[in-house]
Each structure stands twice: as C-alpha cells, then as structure tokens.
Structure 1
Amino acid sequence: MTTEDQGTLPAPQTPGQDPIISAGLQIAAKWGATLDAAQLEVALKGLEPQLQREHKERMFRLKMQQETAQQEVQAARERREHKRYMASLIAGSTVAVAMLGAGVFVAKDQWWLSILLCGPSLLALVKVFVLRRSDEYDMNAVSVAMRRTMNAAGQAQPPQPPAPPVV
C-alpha cells in the first residue's frame, strides 16, 4: 500500500494491523448492523468487482514503480560504464601521444628506441586502452619487433667520433 492510498480508506487505521483489512471489517460491521444476511451478501457481491479493479490498479502501479526503479539502476550503470570508457580512452590517447612524441624526440640519437616507441608496442598499448582487449598476436608482434630492433642496433656501426675542431 502506498502513501496515496492511506487517505482514501474510509475507516481509521489501527497501528500494527493491515489498514485495508481493518477498513473492510469496519464496513462489514456497519453493514451487518443495518442489513440482513441476504442483503449483506448482495452488497458484498456488488463490492467485489470494485475491489478487484482497485487491486489490479495497485498491482499495476507497483509494477510500474518496479520498472522505473530498474530503469534508473540501468541508467546509472550505463553512466558509470561510459565514464570508465571515456577515462580509458583519454588515458590511451595520452599514452599514445607521449610515446609518439618520445619516439620522434629520440629518433636522431637512438633510432632503435624510436622504433620501439612508435612501432607495434604503441599499437598494442592503444588497443589495450581503447578496445580493452589484448590478443596474443599483438604481444608476439611486439616481441618480434623488439628482437629485430635490438639485433639491428647491435650490428650497427658505432658512431664516428667527432672530428677535432680546426684551429
């Protein structure tokens, strides 16, 4: 029973009892005092369809309240998921831009580090942040690229010492 229904009951409500039952008993007692058994039976049979309609209305109202509550919970869940996704997207974008910037910055002096920062490791990291998944293929590609880069860096000629200044 809702707070709206409390004011519509014809009888005073006693605490600790169901207000609908107590109201029905009081109505029956009043009718029983003024009507005989046959007239009381006819009156109660006439009252029954109205009570059924009121019951259906209350049940429909409760069902609508429950659906509204479920929709609110679903909306709150979707808002949380959206916030989390956006935070992940911003973090992934920030990391990607930082890795690209660092790769460009070190490209002149240490090209092998630039390849590691801007290669498959960047793509794998962005995939983890944005798509929230990591495939075995991604990690294999990163490890292969790292091995090739390290091998190429080890085979590279050491840089020439700077020429002495001409005086």
Structure 2
Amino acid sequence: MAEELGTQPTRQPSALDIAAQWAQLPAEHLAVALSALEPQLAREHEARVLAEQARAHFELEQLRADATELGRAHRRYLVGVYSAAVVALAALGASVYSGTHQQPWLAIAFFGPTLLSLVKIFALGRSDANDLKQAAAAAKAAANMLPPPPP
C-alpha cells in the first residue's frame, strides 16, 4: 500500500474502464454509473472532435502556404524567362545595329559572351564557369576572323 502512494498512474482511466468496473455491481448501481458516465463520454468525444478539427485546420493552412509558395516560384520563373527574352532581343538588336554600322568588334561583344551568359543567368538562374570559357573562345574565334581595323 505504501508503494502505491508514491506512484502516479501511467494513464487516465477512460470512461469505458470505469464502466467495466461498475459492471460488476448490481443493475441499480450500473444505471447510476452510466448516467454519471455520460457527461464524461461527451467531454472525451468533444476533446477528440476539437483535436481533429485543429489537425484539419493545420493541414489546410499548410496546403494554402504550399500553394502560395508554388505560385510565387512560378512567377519568379516566368519573370526570369521574360527577362531572358528581353535581354536576348536587346543584345541581338544591338549586335545587328553595330554590325551594320561598321562596328564589328562591338557586334561581337554584344552577340558573344553577353548574350549567352546573361540569357542563361536569367532563364535558368545559374551560370557555370565553362559557359563563360566557351563563350570567350567563340568570341575570340569570331574576332580572329575579322579583317584588321583600318590604320
């Protein structure tokens, strides 16, 4: 008995546990026990319903947050693609204009590394060191093919 005084029960007995204990008594006592047990069952049910509602509300808020973040990511992607298209068109236009107005070096500068690097940065959101090396090599090859500038 002294050992039981210091210990705490591992769990709260449920209404059904209490009903099972009262079931061993006569029918009159059982009727009284069940009438006293009904409010406890209602409280337990209400607690379960509230917990389920809270869980459902949390899940709904999480889904809304995920949908919002996906929408933002998509808008960022589209802004990058549109920016890449604008930069590409501007660089190509500047290259054509410079090339037709006797400025081949400037045309190569607009068309080469500028176009490739900036479009990749805007469209994909990343740039590699090899891309810049390849663009520089292409620009150098194109510049070597140009006639020397007049004296």
Q: Tell me, yes or no, whether TM beats 0.5.
A: yes
CA contact (8 A) 1:103 1:117 kept: yes
Residue from 58, 78, 81 that aligns with 2:73: 81
Residue aligning to 1:117: 110
How much is the aligned-residue C-alpha RMSD, in angstroms?
2.6
1:89-104 maps to which residues of 2 (within 5 A)? 89-104=81-96
C-alpha distance in structure 2 between counterparts of 1:133 and 1:41, whole Å: 72
What do residues 26-69 of structure 1 show as CA deviations (whole Å, max 9, x unaligned)? xxxxxxxxxxx976543232333333322221111111111111
What code does the residue aligned with 1:96 have?
Answer: A
Residue from 40, 56, 64 that aligns with 2:56: 64
What code does the residue aligned with 1:69 have?
Answer: E
Give the fraction of aligned pairs with identical amino acids, expressed as a percent: 30
Q: Flag the structure with more relative contact order, 1 or 2, with Cα contacts below 8 A and sequence separation at least 6.
A: 2
CA contact (8 A) 1:112 1:149 kept: no
Deviation of 1:102 (Å): 0.6
What do residues 89-141 of structure 1 show as CA deviations (whole Å, max 9, x unaligned)? 22111111000001111113122322232234312211110111111111111
Residue from 99, 109, 127 that aligns with 1:107: 99
Residue from 117, 122, 127 that aligns with 1:129: 122
TM-score normalized by structure 1?
0.61
- Bigger helix fraction: 2
Gap runs ≥5 in structure 2:
1-28
C-alpha distance in structure 2 between counterparts of 1:147 and 1:122, whole Å: 15
Deviation of 1:84 (Å): 1.8
What code does the residue aligned with 1:83 have?
Answer: R
What code does the residue aligned with 1:118 have?
Answer: F
